Structure 1
Amino acid sequence: MTAPTVAWAGDDAPVKVQGKDAVKGASQVAIAAFNVGFIFESTDQTKASGGLMGAFGGATKAKSSLVGVTPAMMQSIADAAYADFVAKLNAAGLTVQDPAAVFAAPALANPHGQQPPVEIGIQLEKGSKGKATYMKPTVLPTLILLPGDFTGSGMSSIGLNMSAGQASGALSNYAKAAGVPVLDVTYLIDFSDQKRPGAFSFGGLEVNANLSVTPSYSRMTALGPNGKTVTVTLNRGVSVDGDFVDKQDASSNLDKTTQAAANVGGGVMAAMGFGGMRFGKTRKFEFTAKPGNYEQGATKAAALANDQMVGQIVSLR
């Protein structure tokens, strides 16, 4: 069932809506893109907690990697999430155009898409970077990214940004020619939830095993036949707890020994009155996906995000 639409205010809203009228009065839609991205590597950096009265200072960095997710696993998640999205649109009274007919239209002779998997170095929140792999449902012939669907990091994203701009024009032309709104959905699924520590935490970062559709980087764009555009962006993450991955500390013994020596040195210097000695920490974590469990968790997270997106379409039309 589609989640009911709820009125929220400001930053408390689960989604951020920009634009209007793109889907007003619509009885059918075309889905040109439904992308599911998976974060496999991420580096998160935060200021140290100031444990031991601020003796250590510095910054804490957590490097995380996910292994064990096969292309077949990613494909099954993308297919299931897309099927759920279509079913919820239908339940809301919207007919979804046949993808084969959509992409056979002259306006989409060149949709400026990519063949998956598409790997992108992405810029996450300040101080954080990651590597993501994007997949599409089997039923869609190409993977289309629109401007704003990703925040690229590095030279490799320049070509993707150019294609995204051209794709936006192609989809807008189709919407006008067909007289129906065109939808582009992009979700980014994270495999870890990093929380800020308390003031006296030695850890610096706590990495919890759960799966979430990441806020700000997960969104839906609706291109209307009237030239209007609506963008719905997740303002809060959609998270699912469960036994989806195994986590182990992948820091080498050398890393730990060096860090321990730095910490002791920082404490001694602080005791001698030399506060402000800053020794950052680097912790490495490796996550191994549990087959079956991982797909179930990621699909559920995407389905919860679908509830938010379909609810907004119903409200806006």
Structure 2
Amino acid sequence: MRCHTCDTDTDVRAMECQTCHTPVGSPALRPGVRVRPVRGVGRAAAVAVAATVLFLLSTVAVQPVNALLAARAVDSADGEAFLLSAGLLELVAALLYQVAMLAAVVLVIIWTWRARKNLDAFPGAAPPLSAGWAIAGWLVPFVNVVLPHRVVANIARDSLWRLGTPWLVHLWWGAWLVFLFGERTIARSTAREFDALPYPQTSADFQAYADHYASAAGAYLVPALFCVVAGASLIVLIHRVSAAQTARIARGMPTGPILPGMTVAAPAGPAGAGGTIGA
């Protein structure tokens, strides 16, 4: 017989489909269980993640620019104006990064929660953590070092029909943790170094600022590289999971118009299918 989830031939003597691991005879969706669209919010989350990476790179790129401004201040009669320009440039880059990061965090949490809730409608899926952890796991201190990885790993396994966690999940989370702790450590260190700089009065003082910015540019390169890896792998992961869940939901829904909140009836046949779709 053909599997209702992945539409491949399945041995009726088997307990589950060898491709997607859905129990033999089960529908693509559990009848009456609400499913939520993930493609739109997934695209928005991917765009926000990409913007976060780009603005993070811009905060690194302004460091050598600031070093040049500080170097010009060495021989300038109005050296403080160059340092003020450097400070404003760094502030703008940091603000853009923080805004993009906040948007990315909110959208990724929404996407994670929707994708996790959809697992409740997938026969054969057995998520060990409740859907609430798809939100709380990101927000609770210390717990947020572990649980987002576990939740997304479960979403990826049950959405992409894998017995093991896809390597992209490990790559994303490992790179994210290295970036997170590395960037914070370097930020604290560079802040202490900046606070220790003298008030700019002499050429040597301005040169100290130039040396500080040049050193900061090199220090931030490694965390920035891990941020790029984490962002790229998360974008690919969101795309793959969203596409897989959208395709499965489409298989479980009958043709014809479906209004938000409508419960659709299971089609005729011993296996049945159906679900409730909501915004």
Q: TM-score range by the shorter chain?
A: under 0.3
Q: Give 1 or 2: higher helix fraction.
A: 2
* TM-score normalised by L of structure 2: 0.27
Q: Give 1 or 2: higher strand fraction.
A: 1
Q: Which has the larger radius of gyration?
A: 2
